[in-house]
Amino acid sequence: MSVEAKNIRNVVLLGHSGSGKTTFTETMIFESGASSRRGDVESGNTFSDFTSIEQERGNSLFSTLLHVNWRGNKINLIDTPGLDDFVGEVVASLKVADTAVMVLNSMNGVEVGTELLWEYIEKYNTPAIFVVNQVDHEKSNFEQTFEQAKERFGNKVIPVQYPLNEGTEFNTIVDALRMIMYVFSEKGGKPKKVAIPDSEIARAQEMHNALVEAAAENDEELMEKFFEEGSLSEDELAQGLRIAMVQGEIYPVFCASALNNMGSGRIMGFLNDIAPSPADRAAAPLEDGGELALGDGGTTVFIYKTMTEPQVGTISYFKVYSGSLKHGDEVVNQQTGTTERINQIFEANGKVRTPIDLIKAGDIGVTVKLKNSHSNNTLSTKGIDRTIEPIHFPEPRIRVAVAPPSKADMEKLAKALHVVHEGDPTIIVEHSSELKQTLLHAQGQLHLDVLKYRIEKVYGLTMEFVKPRIQYRETITKEANDSYRHKKQSGGAGQFGEVHMRIEPYHEGMSDPAGLNVRKKDIEKLPWGGTLAFYWCIVGGSIDVKFSNAIKKGVMAKMEEGPLTGSYCRDIRVSVYDGKMHAVDSNDMAFMLAATNVFKNSFKHAAPQILEPMYDVEILCSSDVMGDVMGDLQTRRAMIMGMEAKGHYQVIKAMVPLAEMYKYSSTLRSLTQGRAKFKRTFNTYTAVPMELQQKLIAEHQEELQEA
């Protein structure tokens, strides 16, 4: 049965690995009556983690769509991985959610993963609540966790509840919104509602007043009533809190023991009664800068996730942004222009998919076997031209090369990797002609390990990772002049060309070469970065200008395969100032070969330098591991650019050579026991140390001899 937007709640569950999201999701499914059993992670029988690799590892690796019916509303739940390697699954899920539930581990407080996830909540302006989970653990510290959240995310973090007796004896929650106390049996489930004891009433009343004030602040009528009467009705309070959540003015805090099913029902009630529906949210941004309101005419759906299953094929998860979608509809892919027929629509609870005939705006559903549509694609009714703003995925942080299998297997592997990329855009496949390697860019080592597992299990192909080569660059640091004569005679017309050339380091705004008469300038930005400045300085016709393009082509041929290591050359000015030609034997080929050789010879006399790519690396870690992280960076030739506090974490900023970043993801995880995250972005090219330059040149010469 289709559901109206006002009766839908799209909720994404977020949290650092180990916070208990999957257990919490499982408890909500059970509490709603959608399932007669509660699965658990250790037994591998949860609705969420249904793939074999998730069950083997005991971690969520993919986002999972589920739904429950709760008091007349439909609540779509998206359980997401807590491991940062799978942040793409989180970002895609946040794109289509209307409320984020941030699950915190009551023992560990605001962890590094929480910090990073919050950046995406802010990016999408997603209303959010906090659930402090595992308050039944002997090391639980609700107050500390709450204070950390408030310190990091501001005074908008307002408690709705607190545990009266956290720890191994936990069974009681004080609820300041409803001003009531919940007492649970040992088995959890539905609690008894009792009066708040006198010893707690002052604290609960103070919390209640803060919630009432937050609700009234964003609505003039409610504010007037609050000033007149000093309180709000339950319905008015719900209305005000919903507005405050939509505007990002309040982040309510709850507590729970997901494992023992204590507190989840109350949180479900809050999501149902107060969390915003799709109808409460702002219009969806479009790629062209416009917006799409929920009630706009025509059907538009957005595919936020695709995956491939054996015996099923491509599975597409989508949100309907306007109109409705029904079985048999034909829609047009706005990116490719191809038409897709919707043969089946499903509601999902993990791998259990139930067919439905119609799905309306605001809802999230599933379809299968779309031919030419994948993640980040918009599908619309024929004649409608609008594209939902795509998901902007984070940049990769790790790269490896694929050891080349047989030619036949390489073709199959290339196709398989293409399919995987369509489902997970955070995996980028690059066939590098420069490095003569197939490179995989991903979020971390675990991300790559899961990719390898899928390729081997689903496609039956073996795939091995090897260390990738580095995109070095070559340049010069001083001026050099040289000449080269190419002469070849083998009966009939021969080849003759002589070129005199000056090469210099190029920088923007430099003056013309001393002592030369510049007749023509060609400043070219190179595809691989940097510049070639080609100056024609021939006076008196010693070389006809018609050969200038051939000479430039000869220079470019060597710049594409530098004299030192075979790497691309950059930032060089070439001035052709003299030479000779023959009336019969001179031709383009002769001058091209002469130019290649004179450039190569003069390059070696111009104090050549190898450049390496440098990356800005930003690491978020706790203070107690900062020393180990810094020590490791120093072994990687890193330049520390600065440090600053972020909440109760430290941010280390460094510039690190790409050559030293191989397997850094695994090293950082090992150094910090998984309590640190990093991101990297390309910055610039800088000169390698001289001893490394000599080593790289020697290695290249050895490769040439072996070839």
Which single residue is written with the structure tokens 């910055």?
683
CA angle 120, 125, 126 (to 5 degrees): 80
pLDDT at residue 542 tops 90:
yes
Q: What is the CATH number of the domain that holds 101?
A: 3.40.50.300
Residue 498 has pLDDT above 80, yes or no: yes
- Domain membership of residue 707 (yes or no) is no
- Residue 403 placed within a domain: yes
pLDDT at 674: 84
Q: Is 125 helix (H, G, I), strand (E, B) or coil?
A: coil
Can you list the positions of beta strands (E) in 405-479? 428-432, 437-442, 465-466, 473-476
Q: Work out how many domains the chain is built from and give that number.
A: 5
Three-state secondary structure call for residue 452: helix
Residue 387 lies in a domain: no
Res. 700: pLDDT tops 70: yes
Mean pLDDT within 78-102: 95
pTM above 0.75, yes or no: yes
Residue 389 lies in a domain: no
Residue 359 has a pLDDT of 96
H or E stretch including 181?
strand 180-183
Return the higher-pLDDT residue of 379 and 219: 379
- Could you tell me the pLDDT band of residue 671, with boundaries at 50, 70 and 90? very high
Indicate the range of 49-53, 288-292, 431-435, 514-518 predicted with least confidence: 49-53
Q: How confident is the model at residue 233 (pLDDT cuts 50, 70, 90)?
A: confident
126/20 same-domain check: yes
Residue 102 sits in the same domain as residue 198: yes
What's the confidence (pLDDT) of residue 310?
Answer: 76
Whether residue 49 is predicted with pLDDT greater than 80 in this model: the reply is: no
pLDDT score at 1: 60
487 closest CA partner among 394, 381, 594, 386: 594
Scanning the structure block, which residue is given the tokens 């790409």? Answer: 658
Q: Are the C-beta atoms of 593 and 468 separated by less than 8 Å?
A: no
Give mean pLDDT, residues 166-177.
96
Which of 434, 466, 498 lies at the terminal end of a domain, its last residue?
A: 466
Least confident of 35-44, 253-262, 366-375: 35-44
Which pLDDT value is given to residue 316? Answer: 96
Residue 572 lies in a domain: yes
How high is the pLDDT of residue 231? 72
Q: Which range among 143-157, 241-255, 477-491, 595-609 shows the weakest confidence by mean pLDDT? A: 477-491
**Cβ(432)–Cβ(439) below 8 Å:** yes
Asked, for residue 306, whether it belongs to a domain, the answer is yes
Tell me, what CATH number does 353's domain have? 2.40.30.10
Lowest mean pLDDT among 152-161, 482-491, 548-557: 482-491
The whole-number pLDDT of residue 423 equals 86
pLDDT averaged over every residue in the chain: 92
Residues 653, 688: one domain?
yes
State the pLDDT at residue 517: 94
Is residue 391 a part of any domain in this protein? Answer: no
699 domain residue, yes or no: no
Is the model more confident about 570 or about 419?
570
Residue 470: what are its φ and ψ, rounded to 5°?
A: -110, 140
> 627-641, pLDDT tens digit by residue?
999 999 999 999 999
CA distance 401 to 417: 13
Q: What is the pLDDT of residue 492?
A: 65
Q: Band of the pLDDT at 408, cuts 50, 70, 90?
A: confident
What local confidence, expressed as pLDDT, does residue 610 receive? 98
Does 132 lie in the same domain as 9? yes
| CATH code of the domain in which 681 resides | 3.30.70.240
pLDDT of residue 425: 93
Same domain (yes/no): 557, 586: yes
Question: What are 239-270's pLDDT values in tens digits?
Answer: 889 999 999 999 999 999 999 999 999 999 99
Q: Report, as an integer, the average pLDDT of 11-20.
A: 93
HEC readout, 678-698: EEEEEEEEEECCHHHHHHHHH
- What confidence category does residue 405 fall into, taking pLDDT thresholds of 50, 70 and 90? confident
Q: In terms of pLDDT, which residue wins out, 659 or 225?
A: 659
Same domain, 143 and 267: yes
Outline where 294-354 has alpha helix (H): none
Confidence of residue 176 (pLDDT cuts 50, 70, 90): very high
**For residue 156, is it left (φ>0), alpha (ψ between -120 and 50) or beta?**
alpha
- Residue 427, Cβ density class (10 Å: 0-12 exposed, 13-18 middle, ≥19 buried): buried
**Do residue 528 and residue 563 come from a single domain?**
yes
Write down which residue in 257, 280, 303 finishes a domain: 280
Least confident of 49-53, 397-401, 458-462: 49-53
Do 21 and 157 have their domain in common? yes
Are 566 and 478 in a shared domain? yes
Could you read off the pLDDT of 647-660 as tens digits, one per residue? 788 999 999 999 99
In this structure, the answer to whether residues 80 and 194 fall within a common structural domain is yes
| C-alpha span between 330 and 371 (Å, rounded) | 13
Answer whether residue 48 shows pLDDT above 90.
no
- How many residues are present in the chain? 707
Higher pLDDT, 551 or 43: 551
Region 384-399: mean pLDDT is 94
Neighbouring residues of 256: CB distance < 8 A, sequence distance ≥ 6: 24, 131, 132, 133, 135, 262, 263, 264, 267
Structure token pair of residue 416: 């398989």
Domain stops at, among 280, 310, 341? 280
Domain assignment of residue 635, given as a range? 610-692
According to the model, what pLDDT value does residue 302 have? 98
Question: For the domain that residue 440 is a member of, what is the CATH number?
Answer: 3.30.70.870
pLDDT, average across residues 3-20 = 94
Cβ proximity of 342 and 371 under 8 Å: no
Q: Closest Cα partner for 100 from 116, 113, 117?
A: 117
My answer on whether 149 and 197 are in the same domain is yes
With 0-12 CB in 10 A as exposed, 13-18 as middle and 19+ as buried, what is 464?
exposed
Query: Does 74 share its domain with 219?
Result: yes
Does residue 500 surpass a pLDDT of 80?
Answer: yes
How would residue 77 be classed by pLDDT, with cut points 50, 70 and 90?
very high
Tell me the backbone φ, ψ of residue 666, rounded to 5 degrees: -70, -40
